Amino acid sequence: MAFLNELAKREERLAPGHRLCPGCGQPIIVRALLNITDYEIVIAHATGCMEVCSGLFPYTSWRVPWIHSAFENAAATIAGAEAMYKVWKRKGKTDKDIKFVALASDGGTYDIGLQALSGALERWHNFLYVCIDNQAYQNTGVQRSSASPFGSNTTTTPVGKVKKGKEQPRKDIVSIAEGHHIPYVAQGSPHAWRDLMNKMKQGLEVEGPAYLNVIQPCCLGWRFPPDMTIEVARMSAETCVWPLYEVIDGAIKINYKPKKKLPIEEYFKMQGRFSHFLKPENKDMLKEAQRLTDKQWEWLLKREAAGL
């Protein structure tokens, strides 16, 4: 309760009046990020839903320094700002404690932004990268990305007589970030708000780069009612489709283990993009989706048990 009271007293650094869809989880995620710390924050923001809907010139919802970068280079942009800040500190031009954050969705992270992200992580810039993952190019028409799950129905992987949605499994971007041996990597969800804020705080405070992957259920692209966003996010954790975990200096910690792991079907029932999985003729696809989910979850459990 004390924590909630403290949060309630903080000045909002994301102003109301943005143009995001009703039910969108992105402002929940961004407000959590901006409210968890008293540090001054500089943000580089890739093109995407949140950027387009919160910063269309001449209007802005941002009450912090905010840079609109291109779709593919948010990590490079924030790396440049962080490098300049280090020079200013060294020359005595500033004594402020400033934190640097890159924001992007899955298209600008998993796909066309991967090179810039990898480069910034490898060069060890001191910043937090937050991927707000809605699992498709939702802003430009719900096209598939490499974050789109196996079988998902998008405008470029439609369900038809020959093909039944996306044929490939989702890219494991968290493991790719972890492969850079950075001090902090984590996966979070807006339904577990305190866990998410703790991860954001830790990512901001470590020395060196940090990466945070946050699921963002999109009521438009995933096709569910706008009032179901948090419940869809919660079901992603209960089915272990989206495990909540963190990797601190190479050691994994699973933050949530369902008392009774639910079948993936319960998650699919909530979303139109997976409705074809529930048809009898596609039962083999449902089994494959469950197998992929179980394999990832069991791998995480084994890693944690082994202390890896």
Q: Edge-to-edge, what's the strand order for the sheet holding 184-188?
A: 66-68, 40-45, 98-105, 128-133, 210-215, 184-188, 245-248, 251-254
Q: Is the pLDDT of residue 278 over 80?
A: yes
Per-residue pLDDT averaged across 37-49, rounded? 95
Per the CB < 8 A criterion, the answer to whether 116 and 72 are in contact is yes
Domain boundary assignment for the chain: 2-306
Q: What tokens were used for 109? A: 């992270």
Q: What percent of the chain has pLDDT over 90?
A: 93
- Which pLDDT band, with edges at 50, 70 and 90, does 1 fall under? low
CATH 3.30.9.10 fits 2-306, yes or no: no
Per-residue pLDDT averaged across 124-145, rounded? 97
pLDDT in tens, 193-247: 999 999 999 999 999 999 999 999 999 999 999 999 999 999 999 999 999 999 9
Q: Is the pLDDT of residue 8 over 80?
A: no
Q: What gap in Å lies between CA 308 and CA 304, rounded to an integer?
A: 6
Q: What angle do CA 69, 71, 75 make, to 5 degrees?
A: 60
Q: What percent of the chain has pLDDT over 70?
A: 99
Whole-Å CA distances, 281 to 153, 155, 234, 263: 16, 22, 28, 19
Q: Is the pLDDT of residue 40 over 90?
A: yes
Asked whether the CA dihedral 283, 284, 288, 290 is positive or negative, the reply is positive
pLDDT in tens, 148-165: 999 999 999 999 999 999
Q: What gap in Å lies between CA 115 and CA 257, rounded to an integer?
A: 33
pLDDT value for 17: 83
Q: Is the pLDDT of residue 280 over 90?
A: yes
Mean pLDDT of all residues belonging to the chain: 96
Per-residue pLDDT averaged across 108-126, rounded? 98
Q: Is the pLDDT of residue 2 over 90?
A: no
pLDDT in tens, 55-70: 988 999 999 999 999 9
SS3 of residue 248 by DSSP: strand
